[in-house]
Amino acid sequence: MTTRAADAAGVPVPAGPAGTPGAGLRVALLGHGAIGRVVARELLAGAVDGATLVCVVTRSEVPELPVPRLSLLEALEVADVVVECAGSAALVAAVEPVLSAGRDLVVSSVAGLLDPALAGRLGELGPGRLRCTHGALGGLDLLASAAAVGGLDRAVLRTTKKPAALVQPWMDEAEAHRVADAATDVLVFAGTPGEAARLFPQSLNVAAALALAVGDPDVVRVELHADPAAELTTHRIEASGSQGSYVFEVQNRPTPDNPRTSAVVPYSILRTLSGLTARPPLIA
């Protein structure tokens, strides 16, 4: 399907609707920051078989962009799936128009899905589908399965990062100094996934992903620690329920351009995207 918007922008749109032989999966990328740049580069290099980057949606110009820069509404006319790499605020604004247009939305900023503007409405939106990435966390498929059988009694997420990555604009001067100048491990936050998403939207997408995976945010407790000795970002999950007890720990290298996120995140996005192609991986 070629539209007037696609013609005007010069977007190369594969023939035929998504899911038909030869059509491929047409991808619009929302955001072109530290995560989006890697996703764009890998898509253009053919990292996801059957997926083609057709446009980028950003608020500002991107130098030497090899695909057109379009508005979100223009992108929805030429793409089958929108990949969000733009932050929680951009996600909240994009969810309804993308899904109501029948397009799939791959979500990087999972914390945005806990925003009160979307609370209780995700199941009503469509006909497009939401697909959340695992991001920097592992074990979510197992925890979701255990929760579906008998529920979980508790799930505790402890995240540890470098202090500089955790200073927030809302902190007063004393709190900002307490975190930034920490000489040893310091507890920065303890609370619910919703509070974590609101206060640390860039640092605790993993908390939202865990809450959504287990299906009951009330059983999830989140702790955020600042540690000057933390060369890697650590996420440790301890959970238990009727099906057993679980402990997971992952240590990720931060993205050089943005220490609040892990370098593996763009590749998690690409893996999620590959699951929407005509030939998804055997193990998604």
pLDDT confidence of residue 260: 75
Average pLDDT over residues 39-54: 93
pLDDT in tens, 114-162: 888 887 777 778 899 989 887 777 888 889 999 998 889 999 999 999 9
Distance from C-alpha of 152 to C-alpha of 149, rounded to nearest angstrom: 9
Helix (H) / strand (E) containing 30: strand 25-30
Exposure letters 130-152 (e unless 16+ CB within 10 A, then b):
bbbbbbbbbbbeebeebbeeeeb
For 199-241, the pLDDT digits (tens) are 988 777 888 888 888 888 889 999 999 999 988 889 999 999 9
With vertex at residue 38, the alpha carbon angle to CA 31 and CA 93, rounded to the nearest 5 degrees, is: 20
pTM score, whole prediction: 0.81
pLDDT bin (cut points 50, 70, 90) of residue 284 is low
Whether the link from the prior residue into 116 is cis, omega within 30° of 0, is no
Per annotation, catalytic residue among 32, 134, 225, 235: 235
Domain ranges of the chain: 4-135+266-274, 140-260
Report which of residues 237 and 22 the model is more confident about: 237
Task: Clarify whether 235 is annotated catalytic.
Answer: yes
pLDDT of residue 110: 85
pLDDT tens for 211-222 read 888 888 889 999
* Distance in angstroms (rounded) separating the CA atoms of residues 7 and 30: 20
Start-to-end CA span in the chain (Å): 29
4-135+266-274 under CATH 3.40.50.261, yes or no: no
Q: Quick one: pLDDT band at residue 63, thresholds 50, 70, 90?
A: confident
pLDDT bracket for residue 80 (50, 70, 90) = very high
Q: From CA 69, how far away is CA 61, in angstroms rounded?
A: 8
Closest CA to 134 of 256, 232, 275: 275
Q: Was domain 140-260 assigned CATH 3.30.360.10? A: yes
